[in-house]
Chains A and B, each alone.
Chain A
């Protein structure tokens, strides 16, 4: 029988620290260039990446507060993963469609999703998020772990059959990569040369299960087995994430098929507001990852390179404050939808048996 190791004894942690030689990194944790930082973005776009990350973190922290104040039900925070989500979503075009799991709010912000509508999911006023997935290029939130990866392949195949130049991106985590749906999706995409980018945010924890209990070889290495490129990237390096995602998306759109990206990052917060991460990990580990913070790293890089100054950073913070205040105001005034909604969308034409139940529940409303 396996004995439970006391938490005070530091475990052998796989991928912590990550072997930096085995993944693409353009900007080191201290903000100094570690590779060719010219990723083909204008100075304005480079600043936009920082603005999005600052916004996203401010929003994430507000959502934690909103949950504690009873305005949201359970909320899954993404703090620490801003670069992975912002860098990847920034590489998408208007015609592309992202298939998120449930922790991709930062990517949703970049895609222009209506955040109040998105947060209705976590407020418990509707499933899926009632935002328009096509207008924003962001599919409904998907909770059952890895199922959305197959949807992304189906959509990509559909786009290919239409002869359109677009790609999908499937967001999932290191835990999801253990699901059968991941493997089926990867093989299907390879066989159909589907224009899809598999974007794995390896954030170190699948709720309480660490990498060494989840997989043995790097997740990115699996791509070789399916017959398409795979790459590990520093998920806290927004420029590196942008570059690999942009290349993968370009390849997909031009008929080159799928790519698997494994972005090495870290979930600073708990799995969700219902989780107590102190039961399975040391604070010391979290603090170590804070020193690799994606926002501070990129801020230093931009200011050192003279692309942004302190005034810009301050303006981003101020703008995020007022933006988040507007979201809070919009969200907290939202009530439950009419009770009839639970009946009204199940079928295009509700069958008589369901119409009868509707009358029983609601009268003739």
Chain B
């Protein structure tokens, strides 16, 4: 079986999108000759030329705003924000226009736009390089928000994003960029909006996305040794949220732990816990537990291990929920 990293998987998906659809444009800061600071666009400018793959000035609002005009001119922008923490100047254009344009024109002007944002922590980065911005986008009507947890799924989801008629915010877990995975790249996987059960179990449902999935799986292995079987649900898509899959799993296990890097308050865990109450209240054997980042700014590199949900914290949370 071939081995791929998320960087390779994303690069391949972008190259195929450029090859398959002559209207796809890839642009952003340093995405040209350099191939982006994470090399996701490596070699694409040489293959597809400077008109299809190009650098922009450092202007995030400009990059997002140009997506609107380019989409109106019939192009399919696939833009890169260099880092989560540098993407905030683009929020106005994304929230006020990219998300709303289809609705405000009664469907006349759709926004088939993909905005890729290297996100989340765990790479010993400087401040502004470890942000979890998902809630801002999930709270904005009109956007799809996607977070892959593995190389193979990143490929499937990016193809899904680039084929979506509506705007997709594609949050890439930086800490997973270089993790290797064995398997064939395929677009046959589940689409945007569908969660995946990565592991079956009857004792507790562990719900997560992105880089934390790896830790959840590791925690599940450890708990298995204690006789606690965990189902691990990879959301993949935060908007739309696969509420049915969440409900189904929690109704069968009766217990749920939600794990994410983003701070606790009004993080995805809050929404998921509320959905669980709506979907599975009668089946709950214990209160839903959240294992998240703290309500603090993302810490400096030397302290990030204490911020990110650790395998130990996840294990402890599941034990607590199971022994409730």
> What is A's interface to B at a CB cutoff of 8 Å?
97, 99, 126-128, 130, 132-133, 139-140, 142, 144, 147, 149-159, 161-162, 168, 180-181, 184-185, 187-188, 191, 341, 344-349, 351-354
Contact = CB atoms under 8 A, between A and B. Distances in A.
Given A188-B56, A191-B57, A151 B68 contact: yes
Contacts of B57: 184, 187-188, 191
A161 B104 CA distance: 27
Interface stretch (B32-40, B91-99, B179-187): B91-99
A155 B70 contact: yes
Contacts of A162: 73-74
B103 interface: yes
Interface stretch (B107-115, B206-214, B311-319): B107-115
Contacts of A188: 56-57, 59, 62, 66
A84 B232 CA distance: 62
Given A140-B109, A345-B103, A157 B96 contact: no
B65 interface: yes
B89 to A, nearest CB: 7
B223 interface: no
A349 B166 CA distance: 9
Given A184-B59, A353-B240, A157 B70 contact: yes
Contact of B105 (A130, A154, A180, A354): A130
A154 B68 contact: yes
25 contacts: A128-B105, A130-B108, A133-B105, A140-B101, A140-B109, A147-B92, A150-B65, A151-B66, A154-B70, A154-B77, A155-B69, A156-B69, A157-B73, A158-B75, A181-B62, A181-B65, A184-B57, A184-B61, A187-B59, A191-B56, A346-B141, A347-B144, A352-B193, A352-B240, A352-B243
Interface string B221-248: 0000000000000000001110110000
Nearest to A126: B106
Given A149-B65, A162-B73, 14 more contacts: A140-B105, A144-B96, A147-B97, A150-B61, A154-B68, A161-B51, A161-B75, A181-B65, A187-B59, A345-B106, A348-B110, A349-B165, A351-B239, A353-B240
A348 B59 CA distance: 29
B104 A341 contact: no
Contacts of B166: 347-348
Contacts of A346: 102-103, 141-142
A27 to B, nearest CB: 34
Q: Which 8 A-B pairs have the closest CB atoms?
A: A154-B69, A158-B73, A150-B65, A351-B240, A154-B66, A155-B69, A184-B62, A128-B104
A321 B92 CA distance: 41
B100 interface: yes
Of the listed residues B64, B73, B96, B109, the one surrounded by the most CB atoms of chain A closer than 10 A to its CB is: B73
A181 B61 contact: yes
Of the listed residues A156, A184, A354, the one surrounded by the most CB atoms of chain B closer than 10 A to its CB is: A184
Contacts of A187: 57, 59, 62
Interface residues of B, number: 47
B301 interface: no
Contacts of B56: 188, 191
Contact of A159 (B25, B73, B104): B73
A159 B97 CA distance: 20
B72 A185 contact: no
A291 B97 CA distance: 40
Nearest to A188: B62
Contacts of A155: 69-70, 72-73
B291 interface: no
B67 interface: yes
Given A140-B104, A144-B92, A346-B142, A150 B68 contact: yes
Contacts of A130: 105-106, 108
A187 B68 CA distance: 17
Interface string B97-135: 100111111111110000000000000000000000000
Given A345-B106, A354-B240, A139 B72 contact: yes
A162 to B, nearest CB: 7
A187 to B, nearest CB: 6
A175 to B, nearest CB: 16
Contacts of A158: 69-70, 72-75
Of the listed residues A133, A144, A351, the one surrounded by the most CB atoms of chain B closer than 10 A to its CB is: A351
